[in-house]
Amino acid sequence: MTASSSARAAFGASMPHLDAASSEPLYRQVRAHIADAIASGVFDAPGRALPSSRHLATEFGISRNTVELAYQELIAQGIVESRPRSGLYATDRLPRRTTTKAPPTGPATTMDWGRRTRCRPQDDLPHAAKVVDWHEYPYPFVGGQIDADTFPVKAWLRALGEAHEPPHLHYSLRDSLDRDDPLLLEAICVEVLRARGITADPSQILITSGAQQGLFLVAQALLDRSSVVGVENPGYLDAWHIFSRAGATLMPMPVDQFGASIPAAPPRLDIAYVTPGHQHPTNVTMHPARRRELLELAERTDAVIIEDDYDSEFRFSGRPTRPLKAMESAGRVIYLGTFSKFLAPGLRLGFIVADAELIDILRDQRRYLIRHPPGQLQRALALFIMQGEYHRQLRRLRTQFKQKWDIAWANADRHLPWPVGTGPTGGLSLWLTGPARLDAAVLARRAAKHGVLVEAGEGFFLGPHRTRNNVRLGFTSINERAIPRGIEILGGVARTLLAERPD
């Protein structure tokens, strides 16, 4: 029997259907189909090998990588084994079905959890529509993700290894209740914050499970149903959800080329949430005059400022700007930092810098949420920073991102059917404004079918006045070499789309 007919025999008369539009990634669908075939007993005959990934890829009409990933997982689970110089075989780990479908395991649930849920969020904000399996696309211009090639695997594993030796091992393993790793707090004060012009001591820092947990903790502590939070518009959707779920009303602050515009005298303002380093999503750096205006407004209204500084160090012309936190000493600014852009978002490590009194309040809350972010990641990051690897990685990324940034702008200028202008001075994405008749959501959907993932700008707007002609191209996730071709394809799709809808 040839491998190809073996594949067909395994799956019955016709190959199972793969749904490319499903939220379930392709390789998982393939994996499920293989597991299904194994469970049905087709491969139980002695010496009966599973179809090779090459043949399955041809039969399914997908890439061989996808099939290999499916097999990798099945091997890791012990469902499939690889015999050297022979091929892949089903083990007996997966119970075989005697009927085609497994019977249900018990009566259906009668609980109606929707009815039981008390604190259902009331907001009608959209959720950020992110593609989780962006790495299966050849041209992923998505925000907030990193190209695995840029991750310093060796240095990070070395730090993790050291974190598992005495005297560090104890700190990696212990339940520290509400405390953080003292070494990481020191490392952040000395190596991370000083370079940004911020003076802080360990009592003013709390480690968070991503900057997002920082937002949650501050919102939970300082907001209630009477609160008003000023937010940049367009802005960071996840933050809006968090404020809104804490009961607050959102007050949009429109963004122009100088950053968020500062309202004159709102009747009430509890928190102003800003991204002054590079505004999310437009990458505009907040002008010094605006910064002063914002600090004055906060003082006048007795409001607190949350400064979300996720990437101010990635400025490609001129020096990085000074954080708001370094411009005032009253303690009015709560500063959020993250290691997602320097290392990886999957690490889930960020930090809050604020007055020690507030940090204590937030620490007490965190104790009953998660206790503390994992000890071994805290200790490994501390060692990584102290050994100079953080600054090395920062320098490496700055060079790499600058290159990608230049390539992306040059290709956008060459391939997109509208003038792209010069752009701001930094940031990790391109925020592009097409002609007024461009529907970027349609562009994004169509481009995805050609393997190009971009984000429609519409989703970053609050309220009814959403511009539909913005498109965002993140470049931290895509490999440098893929950028030109990706933008060329996007340009082609955009040209066709615009031709369908002339002015």
* Stretch 254-313 residues interacting with its own copies (CB under 8 A): 304
DSSP 81-99: EEETTTEEEE-S-SPPPSS
Q: In the complex with its own copies, which residue's Cβ is closer, 72 or 425?
A: 72
The 3-state DSSP class for residue 335 equals strand
Nearest to 252 by CA among 66, 353, 237: 237
- Measured between alpha carbons, how far is 126 from 462 in angstroms, rounded to an integer? 9
CB-based contact 290:333 (threshold 8 Å) = no
Nearer to its own copies, 47 or 106 (CB): 106
Task: Write down the least CB distance from residue 248 to its own copies, Å.
Answer: 10
413 binds its own copies (CB under 8 A): no
Burial class, 476, CB count within 10 angstroms (exposed 0-12 / middle 13-18 / buried 19+): buried
Q: How far is the CB of 503 from its own copies (least distance, A)?
A: 38
Least separation in angstroms between residue 348's CB and its own copies is 5
CA distances from 192 to 121, 143, 189, 385 (A): 36, 23, 6, 8
Stretch that binds its own copies, among 13-21, 125-133, 406-414, 453-461 (CB under 8 A): 125-133
Q: Are 298 and 273 spatial neighbours (Cβ–Cβ below 8 Å)?
A: no
- In this structure, what token pair is assigned to residue 254? 């429109």
Applying CB under 8 A, among 34, 88, 223, 490 the residue interacting with its own copies is: 223
For the chain, the helix, strand and coil percentages under 3-state DSSP, each to the nearest 5: 45, 15, 45
> What is the DSSP annotation of 172-213?
HHS--TT---HHHHHHIIIIIIGGGT----GGGEEEESSHHH
Burial class (CB in 10 A: 0-12, 13-18, 19+), 325: buried
Per CB under 8 A, which region of 138-146, 407-415, 418-426, 454-462 contacts its own copies? 138-146
Q: Is 175 in the site for its own copies (CB under 8 A)?
A: yes
Site string for its own copies, 330-349 (x = CB under 8 A): xxx-------x---xxxxxx
Angstrom distance (rounded) from CA 25 to CA 370: 30
d(Cα 31, Cα 466) in Å, to the nearest integer? 40
Output 167 or 267, the one with its CB closest to its own copies. Answer: 167
CB closer to its own copies out of 95 and 267: 95
| Separation of alpha carbons 185 and 188, rounded Å | 5
Reported residue count of the chain is: 503
Name which of residues 201 to 220 contact its own copies (CB under 8 A).
209-210, 212-213, 216, 220
Report the residue from 100, 117, 317, 422 that binds its own copies according to the rule CB under 8 A.
117
Among 48-56, 124-132, 280-288, 450-458, the segment contacting its own copies (CB under 8 A)? 124-132
Write out the binding residues for its own copies, residues 229-248 only, by CB under 8 A.
238, 241-242, 245
* Cβ atoms of residues 79 and 70 within 8 Å: no
Q: Which is nearer to its own copies, 216 or 475 (CB)?
A: 216
Q: Which residues in 139-158 contact its own copies (CB under 8 A)?
A: 144-146, 148, 151, 153, 156-157
d(CA 378, CA 183): 8
Q: Which of residues 370-389 bind its own copies (CB under 8 A)?
A: 370-377, 382-383, 386-387
Q: In whole angstroms, how far apart are CA 178 and each of 172, 204, 336, 354, 372? A: 15, 14, 19, 17, 6
Q: Is 400 in the site for its own copies (CB under 8 A)?
A: no
Stretch that binds its own copies, among 312-320, 353-361, 408-416, 419-427 (CB under 8 A): 353-361
61 binds its own copies, rule: CB under 8 A = no
Q: Which stretch binds its own copies (CB under 8 A): 114-122, 390-398, 437-445, 447-455?
A: 114-122
List the interface residues with its own copies, window 84-113 (CB under 8 A). 105-107, 109-111, 113
The single residue among 21, 45, 119, 265 that binds its own copies, judged by CB under 8 A, is 119
166 lies in the binding site for its own copies (CB under 8 A)? yes
183 near its own copies (CB under 8 A): yes
* Nearer of residues 380 and 473 to its own copies, judged by Cβ: 380
Using CB under 8 A as the binding rule, whether residue 421 contacts its own copies is answered as no
- CB of 330 or CB of 499, closer to its own copies: 330
190 lies in the binding site for its own copies (CB under 8 A): yes
State the Cα–Cα distance between residues 95 and 102, nearest whole angstrom.
Answer: 11
Q: Which of 224, 256, 296, 406 is close enough to bind its own copies by CB under 8 A?
A: 224
Nearer to its own copies, 198 or 255 (CB): 198
Instruction: Pick between residue 220 and residue 400 the one whose CB is nearest to its own copies.
Output: 220
Both tokens assigned to 98 = 């005697």
**Shortest distance, CB of residue 349 to its own copies, whole angstroms?**
8
Choosing from 46, 47, 114, 463, the residue that interacts with its own copies (CB under 8 A) is 114
Query: Which of 10, 50, 67, 69: binder of its own copies (CB under 8 A)?
Result: 69
Minimum CB–partner distance for residue 499 and its own copies (Å): 35
Sign of the C-alpha dihedral computed for residues 232, 130, 406 and 151 taken in this order: positive
Taking CB under 8 A as the criterion, the residue among 3, 4, 28, 407 binding its own copies is: 28
Question: Would you count residue 357 as binding its own copies (CB under 8 A)?
Answer: yes
Report how far apart, in Å, the C-alpha atoms of 91 and of each of 16, 83, 86, 101 are. Answer: 22, 11, 14, 20
Report if residue 122 touches its own copies, rule: CB under 8 A. Answer: no
Crossing angle between the packed helical segments 64-76 and 53-60, to the nearest 10 degrees = 130
